[in-house]
Amino acid sequence: MAASPRMTLQTRLVLRAFLCEPAQSRYAWELCDLAGLPSGSVYPVLAGLERCGWLDSDWDGDRRGAPRRRVYRLSRDGVEQARDALARVPARRRWVLGLGSGKPVVTP
């Protein structure tokens, strides 16, 4: 397993978007919308999370002649690591991520 990703605000916002439904596969454009970030911020985060083993990705299935799209999903280890990473967000920054105060980030 590679090193942990850099925990920037953008990384945390993307992780929060994934943890809304941890088993759900997501397209990058969907993550842009959920995280409130432009694609130029989301794609580097996705690449870093995948390099670290926190994400799995694949090409979507048959779309009847439409271009294929990449779908991303938290890996088994990635779910736990993402929860731990967001739980370590300092209290003074939790409001930026909409994490509230001290409660668990997302429970299964």
pLDDT digits (tens, 9 = 90+) for 60-81: 876 677 888 899 999 999 999 9
What is the CATH classification number for the domain harbouring 68?
1.10.10.10
Q: Count of domains in the chain?
A: 1
- Tens-digit pLDDT profile for residues 30-70: 999 999 999 999 999 999 999 999 999 999 876 677 888 89
With respect to residue 105, please indicate whether it lies within any of the assigned structural domains. Answer: no
Are 97 and 10 contacting, i.e. CB atoms less than 8 angstroms apart?
Answer: no
Establish if 18 belongs to a structural domain: yes
DSSP-assigned beta bridge partners for residue 70? 59
